[in-house]
Amino acid sequence: MASSCPRQKSEPVWLGVPASRRQIREAPRMRLAVPAGPAPACAASGAATTLASADYVRPFWDAVKVTVIGRHLFDTTNGWDGDPAAGDELVVITHRPLPQAWLAGHPDAPFRTAGSVEAGIALAKRLAGDGLVCVTAGDLGGQAFSAGLVDEIAMDVAPVVLGEGVRFFGSHAGTILLDDPDQVVRGDRVLHLHYTVRR
């Protein structure tokens, strides 16, 4: 919920806004890798998706090993109750410790913390090994992009005009010029776009 990917020999780091696998639906969202989930999860949740969308997101879901989120998203989702929305582990970028009550209630949660975007993505890359690291959009994604840590951007464009919301790159103020998308997939009322960031 998308993704930014620092490149090495491992999978790239995507920037996105992960939704819970149990709450997957094709709704207005932006993703510098916004996982939409595999078709079976969509069917189980009562949400509908097209085969084209499912085929587009399934490889993403399978590749994500670690998701990097900011403290605001952690607080908003209650840390997905200790079950990462995408991947096996989650890194929370925060300047405050996670709440003791939350930690006590989720002692086995595969969550780590880091004090900066750079440290968090470095930790996530170590944890992910050859897997994909997904970085959420918004301020965190903008900071990662500004730091040169985003290799890929994926967006889902839905025909909805919102009156307000979070900017895709948060407070990132620089001009961003991307080449034509290297992947375009048309779903039902959603257009999936994937860009490789050129440096």
100: domain CATH number? Answer: 3.40.430.10
2, part of any domain: no
Give me the pLDDT at residue 94, please: 96
Residue 1 lies in a domain: no
53/161 Cα distance (integer angstroms): 21
Does residue 6 lie within any of the structural domains?
Answer: no
User: Does the pTM exceed 0.85?
Assistant: no
**Residue 174 and residue 88: Cα distance in Å, rounded?**
33
What's the maximum distance between 2 C-alpha atoms anywhere in the chain?
47
How many domains is the chain partitioned into structurally? 1
Place of tokens 């992910």: 128
Inside any domain, residue 42: yes
CA distances from 39 to 46, 52, 133, 145 (A): 11, 10, 21, 30
What is the residue-level pLDDT of the chain in tens, covering all 199 positions? Answer: 343 333 333 344 444 444 433 333 332 232 334 333 333 333 344 456 788 888 888 888 888 999 999 999 999 999 999 999 889 999 999 999 999 999 999 999 999 999 999 999 999 999 999 899 999 888 898 899 888 898 888 888 888 887 887 777 887 767 777 889 999 999 888 899 999 888 7
Query: For residue 101, what are its two tokens?
Result: 């009550």
Query: Is residue 22, in this structure, part of any structural domain at all?
Result: yes
**DSSP per position, 29-52:** ---SS-----HHHHHHHT----HH
Residue pair 92/74 in contact (Cβ under 8 Å)? The answer is yes
pLDDT value of position 177: 75
Sheet holding 13-15, edge to edge: 111-114, 89-93, 64-70, 132-135, 13-15, 152-157, 191-196, 183-186
3-state secondary structure of 143: helix
**For residues 162 and 31, what is the distance between their CA atoms, to the nearest angstrom?**
16
**Whole-angstrom distance, CA of residue 97 vs CA of residue 20:** 23
Task: Let me know if residue 3 belongs to a domain.
Answer: no
Task: Provide the domain limits for residue 162.
Answer: 13-196
Beta bridge mates, 134: 14, 67
d(CA 149, CA 161): 30
Half-sphere exposure of 91 (CA within 13 A, CB side): 27
